[in-house]
Structure formats: C-alpha cells, structure tokens
Chains A and B, each alone.
Chain A
Amino acid sequence: MASKAPPGTFKILYFSSATTITKKDSEFLPAPLALGKLFDTLDENYSGIKAKVLGSCMVTVNLEYVDIEEDAERELKEGDEVGIIPPVSSG
C-alpha cells in the first residue's frame, strides 16, 4: 500500500467490506476523475459494489473526509489517495 501512484493515476484504498468485493486493498485508477463519477466508475469495475458498499460508505481524499454530493465537482488528481471506508459496526 506504500507504493506511489504512477503518472496519470490516483490511488484508491479499500477498507473492510469494500475489500470483500474488490478482493484487493488498493489499486490505481486513471486521473483526473470528478469525485461525482467515482461510484459509477467503480460499479463498472465491480458490478454491484455501489448498492452493496458505496451507497453507505465514507470517502476520503488525502486522509480528509469529502462529501460525495456536496463535493461532486471536485477533481481527483494524479497522485491523490482516495479511501473507500464503509462503516464497521461490529464489536
């Protein structure tokens, strides 16, 4: 997970139940991409992930919370690190 994003990509990290569907904890996706298009892009790669995970998850960019609706216009830039963080509710 420590590796840097190759040119023209951003890094995306998957946590908890997101990894159950992606079967990986990180990957690189083509940059730039509008934040508002992130979920649809992921759903194309992982059919069903939007309904199962993304609709209820939190998203961070460079370790900061972002609001997927309010910040929809924000551009994910080359080298950014995006986190897909579903709620963990057990204990």
Chain B
Amino acid sequence: MQSQEPAALQLRIQELEAELAALRASAQEASGDIVTSAEAREEQKESNENLPLLLDEYRRYGRQMIMPEIGFDGQLRLKRAKVLIVGAGGLGSPAAAYIAGAGVGTIGIIDHDTVEHSNLHRQIIHSTSKVGMSKVESAITYLKDLNPNPTYIPHVQALTSANALPILTPYDLILDCTDHPSLRYLISDTAIILNKPIVSASALRTDGQLIVLNDPPGSGPCYRCIWPNPPPASTVTSCGEGGILGPVVGVMGVLQALEAIKLLSRPAPPEQKTTSMTIFSAFPQMAFRTLKMRGRRKACVACGEPADAKDKITKEAMEKGLIDHIAFCGTSAPVGLLKPEERVDVREYMKVRDEGKEHTLLDVRDETQFGICKLEGSLNIPYSEFESLALAEDTASKIPESLQSILAKGLPEAPIYVLCRLGNDSQHVTKQLKDAGVAGGRVFDIKGGISEWAKSGVSGPFPQY
C-alpha cells in the first residue's frame, strides 16, 4: 500500500506519527504515569494500571460490553467470577467455549475421560489430533488459543462423593454438563451445602432439558426437589447406547453458557424469583417449551426439612462418606442370565459359519442399527418385540406363532444364534426362546454382540459404531 503512495506523503505520515507519540508520552508524564523505557511503552500498549481491563479485553469483549444487559460493570463481574464446568463432553464443549470467550476470569474443568473418535461429531472443542488425550487437557488447549486471558484450572479426575466438597468450594457457579444421574444428584447436593447456584443441562437423542437450580442460593429448587427419585438404573441410557445428535446437545450447552453469563454478569439476583425449565425437542417439529417450576420443596432431603431429620443431607454426612450417590441411583449389574454352555464367543460362531452348519442367525438390534451393518444371512427381529412380550406377564416366555414362523424360516429344528450390539439384549432373547422351547431349545447367545465381532476381526475389517 505504502509503495503506491508518493514518497512525500509517506514522510508526512511518519512525522505526524512521531508527533502523536511525543504528545502521548508528555500527557502520561503530566498525569504522573511516567514511561521511560521502550519496553515499558510496549507493555503499555496491552495494559494500563489505571484500567480495570487489559486493552485486549476492551477490544475482545466490546461487542457484548456495549449491550446494556452486560455493560462495563457486567464485564468486570464476569472477570471476577469463578466457574466450574463438570464434564468436557457434548454440553461442556460449547458451554466452555462461550464462557471462555465471554471473559469469565477463572474457569475450572473437571473430567476423567479421554477424547475418542465417537465424541467428535458433537464435542466441538476436541479434534481428531486430540484423540487419546485427556479431555481436560484438550479443552484447555483449545480455550487458551480462543482466549488466553482467563485462568484455566484443570481437574483431570472423576467427581466423586469424596472429592466434590473441596473441588466445588472455590467456585461461584457450577455447570452440570455430566452424563449420569448419580453425578447430577452429587453436584446438586454439594452445591446446596456450599450455597452455590447450578446451571444444569442434559441431552439425549433428540431431546434436551435446561434449568438454573438454587438461584439465588437457598431459594431452591434443587435437582432432588424436581426429581426426588432416580430413574431405575436399567432404564438409564447413555449417549453411547441411545445416540445423540450433535446440534441437540450443542444447543443445550450453548443455552447453559447463556444462563451462566446472565447469572454472573447481573448486579444482583432478581427480586421476583421465577424458576423455569426449558425443554427442547428437535423432532418431529422443533419446539422449545418453558415450564413454570416451583421453588424449594419443603420436605426435600437436600434443601428442605425432611419429615425425619436423620434423612437430611448435611455437610457432615457428606464428609463422613455417608451419602452414596452411586448406590442411591443403583447400578445395572452386567446381564448374566445364561449358563456358560448357552453362550458362544465370536470365534466359535465363526466356526459354525465356516463349516457351513445349518442355523439361523437372529440379530435383535433395532432396524436402524441393523441398517448400519449386518452379518450376511442374518434375520432381524428387534429386541423391543421380545421385550413387550416379557412385559405382559401372562404371555411371558410364550413366543407368538407369527414370530415362531419367522424364526423357523424353513429350518424349524436348526439351532438359533442370537446377536445384538453389545451382548446384553441377546441374552434376554436367548432365555426367552429357550424357555419357550423354540428350535428344540438349541438357542445360543453370541457373547459381546456385533461390537465384539467387529473388534475381534474374526471376519476381517468390520464396521464399529
């Protein structure tokens, strides 16, 4: 650009710039802010002791600071705030990015997991080159590049009943970005004891939920007020099992960051408290619903006064390890319905195929999964069909004729091998078929399902999902 300008004009620009620098220096001297060395002047470009923010921060946060909802004071409150993000996954990824971008001063991230390929479609702060790295380290690497100003505190560990109190204590606000009911109750109970608000979000498949809990502290509701009873462990589905669409969990994480920024930048909690839960459904037609909630539940064991005072969840009880959140939510024991001789491993089943033995391969995955990959010659009857038979007790262990005829498929006496994704549903179906006397009781479960088939490589490269 300069080369195209006349030399005289360039010279004049240089003169004016020199004059301007001299004027600035004398103005600073006059104000008592004496800058002597060139190095100090260089530093002066990025910080000024008289200014509460770095010059970089004025530029960086300008677009949000000029909004009356945030303003300069709101920005300072964000800078002073300390936020803990529990979980650096599908919710934590976008939440952390927006919270760091907005200039929250101290950001802690806790997660014990490492980055996997199956995370990348939704956990947008991780990347292909970070597979195998701890999620916390991967997240902080990304966030430092996005905004080097905040202080980032890594916690590469699982949050447990034993460490939750000391870990949460230094923070002003907790973001629940976790993936299991036991952690949701743990975070809620700990935050109630420590008088901290929580921004809680969750997502599975095509649905999401968002709520700000215990804001202002003491007013409730807490997680237990809304859901006093955990869902039965056998019905709890993870994103790995149930599936998740990236933008669904993404939108929930972004909304979580928004609620966090609102809460931290405001001068004081609103006088008239209203708690609402936002539920998001992506299908069939996208909808957000706002549900009006109540405050603290009087008899809540965490934030209220339970009928029996012994039930109250106290700091002392937590410290003594008397509150077991994992036991409270229960664990689904590995399915062990069958005797060893009723099961075959993938290699034994490969032999059955190699030797060309007459048999039926029954794949009980749902139609969607069956559509991803399948073994040649397999017959698909989804597990849900067997499950509904088991639900109606009077017909339990009876297989309707319609299914029988599909199963027989011209091979009424040939053995049946049952396959599912991970080897749990197939055990239930094997037992049901055996109990009903199908195929003369010659029904076998294939251990570890199609996932093990792929991993073992018995039939060469096979898709893993």
Contacts and interface: CB of A to CB of B under 8 A. Distances in A.
A55 interface: yes
A27 to B, nearest CB: 15
A64 B289 CA distance: 11
A81 B207 CA distance: 19
A91 B181 CA distance: 11
Nearest to A55: B229
Determine chain A's interface SS by DSSP, over half rule. Answer: loop
A56 B237 contact: no
Nearest to A63: B291
B226, B231, B290: which has the most chain A beta carbons within 10 Å? B231
Contacts of B392: 47
B204 A16 contact: yes
A14 B277 CA distance: 16
B249 interface: yes
A90 B184 CA distance: 10
B281 interface: yes
A87 B237 contact: no
B208 interface: yes
Interface in A75-91: 83, 85-91
Given A88-B209, A91-B252, A53 B235 contact: yes
Contact of B231 (A17, A25, A67): A17
Given A1-B285, A15-B207, A64-B291, A89 B180 contact: yes
A89 B291 contact: no
Contacts of B207: 15-16, 88
B227 A91 contact: no
A58 B202 contact: no
Nearest to A47: B391
A27 B252 CA distance: 27
Interface stretch (B42-50, B84-92, B101-109, B165-173): B84-92
Contacts of B293: 65
Of the listed residues B181, B208, B279, the one surrounded by the most CB atoms of chain A closer than 10 A to its CB is B279
Nearest to B249: A91
A52 interface: yes
Given A63-B292, A91-B87, 5 more contacts: A16-B205, A51-B232, A55-B232, A89-B184, A91-B177
Interface of A: 1, 15-17, 25, 47-48, 51-53, 55-58, 60, 63-65, 67, 83, 85-91
22 contacts: A1-B284, A15-B279, A16-B204, A17-B237, A47-B393, A51-B232, A55-B229, A55-B232, A56-B229, A56-B232, A60-B291, A63-B290, A64-B292, A67-B294, A67-B297, A85-B291, A86-B231, A87-B227, A90-B180, A91-B89, A91-B202, A91-B249
